[in-house]
Amino acid sequence: MVMKLSWVTLNTSDGQIFGLQVLSHDTVANVREKMLGCVFDLLYRKPEQEKELLSQLVNKLGDPVRKVASKATLFILKLRKT
């Protein structure tokens, strides 16, 4: 499974999960939002790295930008319904 996030191509290997962690600390809120979408897609479609991906999603609940925190809440609620 390959996902495109602007300039970065992400696979589901361990090294690429680290790439998502780096993007989660980006200073641009839009990048953090897109990272949340990738984390949600990986959790929904291939939950092999569930512990790491879910912790990234939960950590974004405290994001100082309300839009990012709201998006994290939405994705967690969507995961809970499935």
| pLDDT at position 5 over 80 | no
pLDDT of residue 26: 86
> What is the per-residue pLDDT across 28-69, written as a single tens digit (0 to 9) for each?
999 999 999 999 998 888 888 888 899 999 999 999 999 999
Number of domains in the chain: 1
The average pLDDT across 23-32 equals: 88
pLDDT over threshold 70, residue 14: no
User: Which residues lie closer than 8 Å to 22 by C-beta, 6 or more apart?
Assistant: none
Domain range for 22: 3-81
Q: Is 21's pLDDT higher than 60?
A: yes
Please say whether the beta carbons of 58 and 72 come within 8 A. Answer: yes
Mean pLDDT of 20-34: 88
8 Å CB contact between 45 and 53: no
**Phi and psi, residue 69, nearest 5°:** -65, -40
Residue 41 to residue 65: CA distance in whole angstroms:
22
pLDDT at 6 exceeding the cut of 70: no
